[in-house]
Structure 1
Amino acid sequence: MSQSHYSPLLLTLTTFLLFIISTSLPPTFAHAIPINTLVAPIHKHSPSSLYTLTLNFNSQYVIDLTTPTLWSSCPSNHPTTLCSSLQCAAAGPCQCTRLSGGGGDAGHYPCTCTAYRSAPTTDKCPYGDYLTLTLTPITIFVTDGKNPTVILSGPSVVSSCSTNNAIHPALPVGATGIIGLGNSQLNFPSQLSAQLKIQNQFAICLPSTTAAPGVAFFGSTKPFRLLPPDLPDLTTLLSYTPLIKNPKNPNGYYLDVEGILVNNQPVQFLERVLEFDCLGDGGVMISTAVSYTTLHSRVYRPFLKAFARATSRIQRVPKVKPFDLCLNSSKLGSTRMGYGIAQIDVMLKGGEKWTIFGRNSLVQAGPEAACLAFVDGGPRAEQAVVVGGYQLEDHLLVFDLDRSRLGFTGSLLGIRTGCASFNFTVGV
């Protein structure tokens, strides 16, 4: 993964300030007031370039768009879920093992439901590395779309926990676990929707800076306002495209992409690579766990040539790993959208397009090196394209789970704001 510049001290101060402010407000339970939307801060982490979401005032969970549940280390005396429960059935095949006890014949006492680190792709149970299904109580803020308003304390979500503390070797220091936002019945937003009777959708707005948090919403996203206060409701700026299913990876979010343009010219490659083959490989997936958009070699090589051709008059500088094309940043103009460079358009089904401008296409990888922020996934990459976190920053993304569609804005820099501009001052 790439490097970023996250400040643990800043995160500690931010969450501590939220805690101090919130203690002046009474805890609010789901049945006490109408609830439409919940809100939580998102921090960009260094050096992992992962993004963490804050729950329970100071618990940091790494955001993952493919993990099906929230998971962490098991606390002592944690509650468990029975194999006969509906929640266990939703966890997937082969999830039941007789692990609980207290004496007696293992065939007679109730068994404890288990899950796995990743969604199984066959009906065979993997060996070892089991995660116990448990319940995790949640404290989170309610919002009116402009500020946090009151605290919601009380809902418990079905989650997975590991008893051996080997949660994930790549988790950043200080992270409690992973918040599973993958497309499953037990993902965090779907459970909140079922318990609180709110809309089954969530929105993420990833910050491009470590100096201030971005924002996540669960439930309705209307209105959604960033500072300065004279900006329009951002939901009026959303375009929509279908989310499609990949049977090989049912928890992932995939886009129906029809082509890629560089400087308004089509990139020439075999377009069927963007579709799923008979094994479920191919397709275009969205991921916050990948730093930079990764392309299969059959897509990457012609894409790189097209971008090199569109920028042929700009001085090159030595490459900086893992990038293959770096430009002299002192020779580039600057705009509100980042470096003035050839734009990249991802053409989506239904006529919509996702335009990537300089801020999300080039990364400052050295004093004068502005590098194309896309990497070669190799000839054996399972997906044709994995859209990474860097390309998602400063865009509002709304995952409408009931309608299986993605709402997205263009770069928020174009309207003089960004994902780090939500007002986390607690309203009265």
Structure 2
Amino acid sequence: MENRKKVAFYTLGCKLNFSETSTIARSFQNEGFDRVDFEDEADIYVINTCSVTENADKQFKQIVKKALKHNDKAFVAAVGCYAQLKPEELAAVDGVDLVLGATEKFKITDYLNDLSKNEMGEVHSCEIEEADFYVGSYSIGDRTRAFLKVQDGCDYKCTYCTIPLARGISRSDTMENVLKNAKEISAQNIKEIVLTGVNIGDYGKGEFGNKKHEHTFLELVQNLDAVEGIERLRISSIEPNLLKNETIEFVAQSRTFVPHFHIPLQSGSNTILKLMKRRYMRELYTERVAKIREVMPHACIGVDVIVGFPGETDELFLETYNFLNALDISYLHVFTYSERDNTEAVAFDGVVPANVRAKRSKMLRGLSVKKRRAFYESQIATVRTVLFEGENKEGYIYGFTENYVKVKAPWNPELVNTLHDVVLTKIDDDGSVRFDFVHALA
């Protein structure tokens, strides 16, 4: 048994990447490899890359260095979005042996006949048009919740985004396979499943560029809600134009879906939304938030927003700021616009200076803190159900309510991966919420 090779993984980016890393890791385990932590010595290090932010590009080199510090003879493979978009660039990084694009990453073990270091990284990446098949994925064993991939790729042409170039056309898993994966997850005593994909509201498009929807996102949600053994389901991120009223109404009365929505806005200015080629105006966004509040007043609503997009003047930025300030939302994820090769926006006029982008980002992050605080305050004295996580962080255990309020309590290993009804009592100095148990612990 001493001869078994060890493999370690590092994931950059989104929940979808986490689910795919887990699937790739299982394929290694099926081939007789032992999975170890990235901080440990391994024979192979696999880095799942992201291309969404500048930062993710820079992080890659540091992670390769870290891997080689653990074992300077280790075989290093790069997969994922950045590996599809800039394979030669990654292959040229010192110490990288293999770069696999969008279609090849799930067959990584086929490329590992010889684990000796290469002079230069070997590249296997397809033309993205060939990424027309679907590989189902889910993550398990990483946390108390699992990320279940239901869809991949995107047919939208947003002018700032490289995801369609990195992941190809929109395509979905079959309903049967999603339900099978959901049952497998729940059988392993995982209490929460987060649905993930590139554009999950577009669920239902078949493989091979079949634009016809076999099923709708609403049907997916209805079918998952009926699966026995799942305690909680969470929709990760869904476009406002694809989040229909019927889905909102269904979630409000469903057995397992939690009252938490994350809805990308990107800009509160219709002028900028048009430049971005988003598929809605801000008025639609207002309607979606109003509908959620009508049927789920206690719901948590998160928003993605991009600052510093070309053409965003001070006036247009203030439109976004004031729009979000007036909107009944719970928190923001703020992204500073960064130029990406092969996107339309790179050629746009009205480039916003970096220091102005940074200032706007800081303003919106400040607004997010204010919004989250107000949302948490609105939840004090209410009864919520908490799922506790598995980590001892400086003597405390943390968890999340169904509507995504972060709570804390003194560390108690018996609470890990359990659900409890609690009364939220007060906001702590670190921003998380204290509570009292409704029922005494058994």
Q: TM-score, normalised by structure 2?
A: 0.25
Relative contact order (alpha carbons < 8 A, sep ≥ 6): 1 or 2 greater?
A: 1
Q: TM-score, normalised by structure 1?
A: 0.26
Higher helix share: 2
